Amino acid sequence: MLRTMLIAVAMVAGAAQPLLAADTASDPKAEFKAFREYFTSRFPKVALDDFVNGPYSMDEGLRKQWKAIDEFPPYEFAVDKGKEMFATPFKNGKTYGDCFPNKGIGIRQTYPRFDEKSGQVITLDVALNQCREANGEKPFDYTKDDMAALTAYMAFTSRGKAMDINIPDDPRALAAYTKGKEYFYTRRGQLNFSCASCHVQNPGNRIRTEVLAPALGIMNALPIYRSAWGGMGTTSRRLRTCNSQVRGVPLKAESEEYRNVEYYLSYMANGLPISGPGARP
Amino acid sequence: MASTIRVRAIASGDSTQVQSLISHPMDSGFVKDSKGQLIPPHHIEVVEFEHAGKIVFTCLWGPAVSKDPYVKFTFKGGKKGDDLKVSWVDNKGQSDSLVAKIQ
């Protein structure tokens, strides 16, 4: 009973705060600069482009293991599956490529994007399901398997391209960015952690056996093959796992909060190369 | 369907190093699904690596081997351009094989 109440209180607090904070003005350009300077001055030895490699940019031992794993990347099967799915036409003869610019090749770095029609942030995963539904197919589950294979392939074709996220001149886009930022810095769960507690205050430090990744460029490696999962997972799966790990209640995959926080973090990673699909312990 | 086998064999000196990854669920038979039902055992039983008509490496696997298993070994012989055949059979009688060139 007490536990339920604690969670309820935490949820109310978590839900109320972004609403209040969304009213305060955001300056994405200044925040981008401050965010980047924080990481580059705290980790002067880490090359800027290396931040996208997450924990491997922080820990030499882990990096060696990663190099060995990467000779035979565990996400390779997913990339192959995604490639095949991508090339297979829907029942109406169209393909995924028809829904995207440049036939969907090498465009991962432009997502998530703000959609002016719906006034919402559209991630690559959401865009893929919209594409399926527009062509009369059932949407995929947002956390793993087919969705992870498709995004893995699309990330693979975009490797090395610089993250290129725009915040259009639209108050709703700025609001989405601000809400994402608020979500990132809001504490939640029984452990009372915010995303920033781990990924801004403690990158490179261990949380039990795991080395924490820096928030800078953290979206560039997704989707990931995570050994702890024994399989691939999308951005939603990663965020839901983060929420559970701080003993919070995970949100629905691709809920507005998750899309906004992905928007915020991807904007912060502008200019850094796509390194996905990644492999993580 | 793409092959379930990935293999890379590199000859150096008088020996060849082989690395291989196989995509397989390797269900042990002891795990329950989300409905509480046991997932029946489904795992690879034999993997064979064949070079020049001779089996150079055999794996006898059971339920304790992980999902998507990885193997690395070295054998004497083999040179660049030779064929290396990899094949597996699981407890349901399913199988796959692949012939790769030694690099």
The yes-or-no verdict on residue B42 having pLDDT over 60 is yes
| CA-wise closest residue to B68 among A233, A236, A232 | A232
Which helix (H) or strand (E) covers residue A230, if one does?
none
Q: What average pLDDT does this structure show over B26-50?
A: 92
Alpha-carbon gap, residue A38 to A48, rounded angstroms: 12
> What's the pLDDT at A144?
82
Alpha-carbon gap, residue A115 to A168, rounded angstroms: 9
Which residue of the set A131, A195, A198, A242 is catalytic? Answer: A242
Alpha-carbon gap, residue A52 to A216, rounded angstroms: 7
Alpha-carbon gap, residue A181 to B50, rounded angstroms: 56
Chain A hits for B1, CB-CB cut-off 8 Å, are: 84
Question: Is residue A148 a contact partner of residue A78, using CB atoms and an 8 Å limit?
Answer: yes
Domains (range + CATH), chain A: 28-74+167-280 (1.10.760.10), 76-156 (1.10.760.10)
> What's the pLDDT at B78?
83
Which helix (H) or strand (E) covers residue A102, if one does?
none
Which amino acid appears at position A155 of this protein?
A
> What's the pLDDT at B13?
86
Q: What are phi and psi of B70, to 5 degrees?
A: -120, 135
Chain B hits for A80, CB-CB cut-off 8 Å, are: 2
Q: Nearest residue on chain A to B19, judged by CA atoms?
A: A72
> What's the pLDDT at A68?
86
Question: Is residue A138 a contact partner of residue A132, using CB atoms and an 8 Å limit?
Answer: yes
| Whether B21 and A80 lie within 8 Å, measured CB to CB | no
pLDDT in single tens digits along all 281 residues of chain A: 455 554 544 444 444 444 444 445 678 989 999 999 999 999 999 999 999 999 999 988 899 989 888 888 889 889 999 999 999 998 888 899 889 998 889 999 999 999 989 999 999 999 999 999 999 889 999 998 899 999 999 999 999 999 999 999 889 999 999 999 999 999 999 999 999 999 999 999 998 888 999 999 999 999 999 988 888 999 999 999 999 999 999 999 999 999 999 999 999 999 999 998 999 98
Model pTM score: 0.82
Q: What is the pLDDT of residues B11-31, one digit of tens each?
A: 988 899 999 989 899 999 999
Establish if A74 touches chain B: CB-CB under 8 angstroms.
yes
Which residue in A71, A74, A80 is closest to B68 by CB distance? A74
Q: What angle do CA A200, A123, A48 make, to 5 degrees?
A: 40
Closest CA–CA distance from residue A146 to any residue of chain B (Å): 14
Chain A hits for B70, CB-CB cut-off 8 Å, are: 72
Chain B hits for A76, CB-CB cut-off 8 Å, are: 6, 21
Alpha-carbon gap, residue A114 to B16, rounded angstroms: 52
Establish if B21 touches chain A: CB-CB under 8 angstroms.
yes
> What's the pLDDT at A4?
53
| Domain ranges for chain B | 5-26+39-101
The ipTM of this complex is 0.72
| CA-wise closest residue to A57 among A47, A67, A65 | A47
H helix count then E strand count, chain B: 0, 7
Q: What average pLDDT does this structure show over B56-64?
A: 93
The CATH architecture annotation of domain B5-26+39-101 reads: Sandwich (2.60)
Which residue in B1, B66, B70 is closest to A72 by CB distance? B70
Closest CA–CA distance from residue B60 to any residue of chain A (Å): 22
> What's the pLDDT at A22?
46
A131 annotated active-site: no
Which amino acid appears at position B48 of this protein?
E
